[in-house]
Amino acid sequence: MKIGNVEIDSQLVLAPMAGVTDLGFRTICRELGAGYTVTEMVSAKALCYQDKKSIPLLKLGEGEHPAAAQIFGSDPACMEEAAAIAGEVSGADIIDINMGCPVPKVANSGDGSGLMRTPDLAVRVAEAVVKGAGSRPVTVKMRLGWDKGSINCVELAKAMEEAGVAAVAVHGRTRSQQYAGTANWDYIREVKEALHIPVMANGDVFAGKDAVRILRWTGADAVMIGRGCFGDPWLFQQAQAALEGREIPLLPPLAERCATAMRQFEINAAHKGEKIACLEARKQYCWYLKGVPHAGYWKEQICHVETMEDLRRITAGIQRDLK
């Protein structure tokens, strides 16, 4: 896949997810097969007002290329300025516009998937970001539409291409669905058939074989993996094996999975501080233990961690007591 002037030698993309795709998790996913990663979404207004908490979200890992920095907002002038700032501070190869976030506080204010309700404004935002990004290509991540009565992904995607956007990613649900029900891949196929730029397919990829299915069904250029990799970055290994027709590898032993989780938290502690890394680990570590028999006691312990030493102690206990 080639996005503008950026070559991406993989069909596996890690979706941008607030509170999930931080530096630590992106690092792990890249090591396990994600060929292209995107930062958590960052508010354009926060960047324009030089909010110190937002800049670190754009930091890329060593050698994390190709990668994109994602921004969100609905004010064209602000988005143009934010695109320039995001590109400069992150060094990202690509700037991505969030037109898919379904969270009410974002969408109801006209940002994220709220832009799908105002396609004329969405076009002006895209044109502004293309201008602000300079030589960096611009991409858009969107949903099918606001609700089932206003599905406009094909029309909006065509408008994005005309505005100079270099690729789009489409999640196969409407905003009103949030993450409920089943993703509709048919509309993603329609988007792919209507465009000349690359299309990334997103939604309901929870196993390696799902990556093959969504690409075959939609004809998309790449698969963007989101919730399926929560606590399971090995999904990228399994997806790559499925794409190559190889035997799909099993999950590694629990001890190795816990060691991987700890490395993720250590990267984050070095990047954002021990306190924040531990607070976030309360949720993220439990994802790594999903489906593990008799893990209830340790999940309860994880929900109260405050230090990296707490996490190391719990990890040693899990590796000792559970298999």
| Active centre residues (catalytic) | 101
Q: Is 210 helix (H, G, I), strand (E, B) or coil?
A: helix
- Contact status, residue 72 vs residue 54, Cβ threshold 8 Å: no
Q: CA torsion sign, 200 to 109 to 69 to 93?
A: positive
Q: How far apart are CA 19 and CA 316, in angstroms?
A: 26
Helices then strands, each counted (H, E), the chain: 13, 11
- The CA radius of gyration of the chain, in Å to the nearest whole number, is 19
- Cis ω on the peptide bond leading into residue 66 (within 30° of 0)? yes
140 sits in which H/E element: strand 138-142
**How far does the chain reach from its first CA to its final CA, in angstroms?**
40
Burial (CB < 10 A; 0-12, 13-18, 19+), residue 309, is exposed
Output the CA torsion 282→259→276→171 (10° steps): -70
What residue ranges in 45-114 does DSSP mark as E strands? 67-72, 94-99
Using the structure block, give the residue that is written with the tokens 């058939």.
193
Q: How far apart are CA 288 and CA 212, in angstroms?
A: 24
CA 230 to each of CA 21, 54, 225, 242: distance values in angstroms, whole numbers, following the listed order: 10, 23, 10, 19
- Contact status, residue 81 vs residue 47, Cβ threshold 8 Å: yes
